[in-house]
Amino acid sequence: HPMKLDRSYGNTRRERSLTDLTGMIVVEDTLRQLVYGLHKFGVAKLDVRSGEVQTLLAYDPAFGDMRTVAASLDGQGRIWICAYRGLFLYEPEQQRVHQLRPLEPDLEQRARVVHMNYRDRNGLLWIGTSGYGVLKHDPRSERFHTVQGMS
């Protein structure tokens, strides 16, 4: 049976509340033994044994359409979210999410059209964009860089 949110968010054109978790991206934190579900309304904690879903965070409506296409977990337990609206960072301990934008203005457009991400063993986040090549983000310097020959 499909998982359902513990409370409804928004409604459809037919005025039905939205509780189904269709199109959800799942991220597993094996170190902390947690499973997160990212859906267009927010972040939930999933209990895979019981099927229970606990809402942790509802996205700010100002973010717009937050359909997630990919996500990865870093060593600090934060979730890097690739959504249609760009790259976001969810910090579970602070219960907050914010959009990440490059300091360099010429990379702003590239960082908004994100389709996938991958965190390597060195902690670098590789970000695949649509039509703008590959970016990498180094959390030690908090900087984005273009990958030469990949745009």
Q: What is the pLDDT of residues 24-72, one digit of tens each?
A: 788 888 888 888 988 878 888 888 777 778 888 888 888 877 778 888 8
- The pTM assigned to this predicted structure is 0.74
Residue 94: per-residue pLDDT: 93
CA distance 20 to 22: 6
Count the residues in the chain: 151
**C-alpha distance from residue 78 to each of 1, 50, 71, 90 (Å):** 29, 24, 10, 6
Q: What is the pLDDT of residues 3-23, one digit of tens each?
A: 666 666 655 555 445 555 556
Distance of CA 12 to the CA centre of its chain: 23
